[in-house]
Amino acid sequence: MATSADADALKDQIAPTGKLRVAIAISPAGGAFWSTKTENGYAGVPVDLGREMAAQLGIPVEYVVHQNSGQITDAASRNTWDITFLPRDPERETKMTFGPIYEVADATYIVKPGSTITNFATLDQDGVKVAAVNATTTMRGAIAHLRHAKVTGYQTYDEIFNLLKSGEIDAFALSRDQLNAMAKKIPGTRVLDETFKQTVTAVAVPLNHPLAAAFATRFMTEAIANGTLRKAYDNNGLKGAPVRTEAK
């Protein structure tokens, strides 16, 4: 059993303000990473997981809102958040400590209405304009994948959605499930069949917080095993989506 001193040391490290500050990114995209703004606050898988984690610690939860995962990463050293749930890659591993993976997503591209692009070969041509959410693991993956098409980062999902709809960009790189949902909202778009990257999403804490990292790892391991993660998926529009915790 953990002692009272152990519990106090953990709370001092994981919640120095007395609240568990959970960093989230807001977008209508949904999925296992993005959260959405609601009339009563926020909704999303990270929102539910953060609330449950705070309840286990016996402290209030506070959501710290960002526009994308790159902004969350940039804030990791500024002591503005305590815990987050975001895509992991080698660059981010130098800025925060990750726990267990709770989602694996296949990244691809959606092309604008009426586009003649049908696969990666016809996409990766000089003059083709590809958008991605700025400073994200998906953007870095698209830049590495494409040799000729130009990848440009934008701060918000909404901005890219409107550029794709108006035909000002040729394609958008994101996870397949989110692009499939987008395709239903923009008639004439097409999600390409191929996958250029698997993105893994995991719990994370700022560097040099070993007690917080150990707690986050234990929390996520239990959440995956006891159905807490499944419930968070089901509550946030992912009822039919499998929980994937290991990349192939």
- Residues paired with 73 in a beta bridge: none
Round to the nearest angstrom and report the end-to-end CA distance of the chain.
Answer: 37
Note the pLDDT of residue 3.
Answer: 64
Which bin fits 105, alpha (ψ -120 to 50), beta or left (φ > 0)?
beta
Task: Note down pLDDT in tens along the chain; length 248 residues.
Answer: 456 788 899 999 999 999 999 999 998 888 899 999 999 999 999 999 999 999 999 999 999 999 999 999 999 999 999 999 999 999 999 999 999 999 999 999 999 999 999 999 999 999 999 999 999 999 999 999 999 999 999 999 999 999 999 999 999 999 998 999 999 999 999 999 999 999 999 999 999 999 999 999 999 999 999 999 999 999 999 998 899 998 76
Spell out the residues 6+ positions from residue 58 whose beta carbon is closer than 8 angstroms to its own: none
* Distance between CA atoms of residues 19 and 60, nearest Å: 5
Is the torsion defined by CA of 150, 137, 111, 113 positive or negative? negative
State pLDDT tens for residues 85-121: 999 999 999 999 999 999 999 999 999 999 999 999 9
